[in-house]
Every structure is written in C-alpha cells, then in structure tokens.
Structure 1
Amino acid sequence: MGTAFTTETLRRSIEGDTAAHLLSLYADDAELRVVDRNSQPSNPRVLHGRGEIAEVLQDVYSRDMTHKVEHCVVDGDNAAFSESCQYADGMRVLSESMITLRDGKIAEQIMIQAWDE
C-alpha cells in the first residue's frame, strides 16, 4: 500500500466503499484527533497509529452510508478538506479536517464533525 497523498487519491479513497484505500494514505505512526459532540475540544478523541485509525475507519465503512469530498486544498505539507456523508435513512454528517503530510502520507489530522440529531 504505497499510495501517496494527492487531492485525487484522497477523493477516490474517501468516496470508495472500503476503508483500505483511505487507510493507505496514513503514515504508520499517524495521529488523528476527533472533535465532536462526544469529544469536546478540551478532551478530543485521539487515535495513535494506523492500527487504531483502521478500527475506526473499518467501522465507518461498514455502515450503509455515502461519503463525498466537497472541497480539498493542498499547500505544501498541509491540506484541508470538507467531507459530507449521508446514511441510508437520510441522516447527514459533515466533517472538516486539517492535515499535516510527511513523505506523502498523512502524519497528523484534526477532524471536527457534526451530524443530524
């Protein structure tokens, strides 16, 4: 899985139907911080390494939902993107991510997400 990060690989990976392609964009020692209703900014959920990130991505991609990259901007070793998701029942999720790249892989990501309640 030697996939390097580009706007197009990110789009194909997120909009795909399995977690494997998206996971291939992360460095082995990547860190993902998630801020949402359950994990407030002062105490975000922090995932360390591809193993922990894989567990979450596999859970997400096992659900009956679609994923779409709305916007992506890359500036050197930094990128930001918006992702919208929709469950089969119509419930929507929106996330915004800021990432740091190292050697063409995601090394750090902070994701802020909100969903319909």
Structure 2
Amino acid sequence: MGSAAGTAFDTEALRRGIEAEDATALLSLYTDDAEIRIVDRNSQPSRPRIVHGLDQIGEMLGTVYSRNMTHHLDQCVVQGDHVAFTESCRYADGVRVLGTSMVSLRDGKIAEQILVQAWDE
C-alpha cells in the first residue's frame, strides 16, 4: 500500500484531515512542489484550474474548509504509488458536492492530483 520507494501513504491522516476540516493536516500530505488540476463546471477539461505548490494548495484548502459545510471521505484506494478517493460534502443549506481524485505519490506524499467535482445547482 505504499509508493514505489516503500513509503506508505497515510489514508487515515487523509480521512482525519478531510472529516475534521483540517487544512493544515491535509497540507502535510503534499510534496513541496505538488500540483492539483481541478475540473468542474467552471474549469473545463481543456482549461483546468491549476493549483501549484504548498502556498497555493494551502490557500485553496483553507478556503474550502472555512465554509459552512461538512466533508466525508467516502472511499479511498491505494495501489502502489497511486491513490483514488471520493469525498462528499454538504453545505448547511443542503447543497451537495461530490469530488473524486486520482493522485500520484512521491515518497508517500501527494505529488500530483486530478480533482473532478460537481455540485447541486
């Protein structure tokens, strides 16, 4: 369940970070030069939103987890140096969000992430 270098990815830290809405804990799971590509209604596949490096990722996570909503890690699968997971969220007004991510690891940390997300309208 670890990366090719033999360093395991901490799925429980991922779960705790998401469900406790702890941006700092989640940020510790990323490499310094990590990159997230986000595809959704506003950022189409031909022009995804790119978030690069710990500063930008930390800012994004801080914004997401400061909202009045709940987060739940639904599924997480680790195979070698890849992780796939789904996260479901719910705003206080009932609007739901579903995100699915495919992750590449380096030394047990997230180096690349592709996030596809959709929400109620």
Q: Which amino acid aligns with 1:69?
A: L
Q: State the percentage of identical aligned residues.
A: 67
* Residue pairs, 1:1-117, within 5 angstroms: 5-117=9-121
Give CA deviations for 1:91-114 in whole Å, capped at 9, x if unaligned. 100000000010111000000000
Q: Distance in 1 between matches of 2:21 and 2:114?
A: 23
Query: So what's the TM-score if we normalise by structure 1?
Result: 0.94
Q: Distance in 2 between matches of 1:24 and 1:56?
A: 14
Structure with bigger RCO (C-alpha 8 Å, 6+ apart): 2
Unaligned runs of 5+ in 2: 1-7
Give CA deviations for 1:58-90 in whole Å, capped at 9, x if unaligned. 001111111101000000100100000001111
Q: Distance in 2 between matches of 1:6 and 1:21?
A: 11
Moved over 2 A (4+): none
Query: So what's the TM-score if we normalise by structure 2?
Result: 0.91
Unaligned runs of 5+ in 1: none
Q: Give the deviation of 1:43 after TM superposition.
A: 0.4
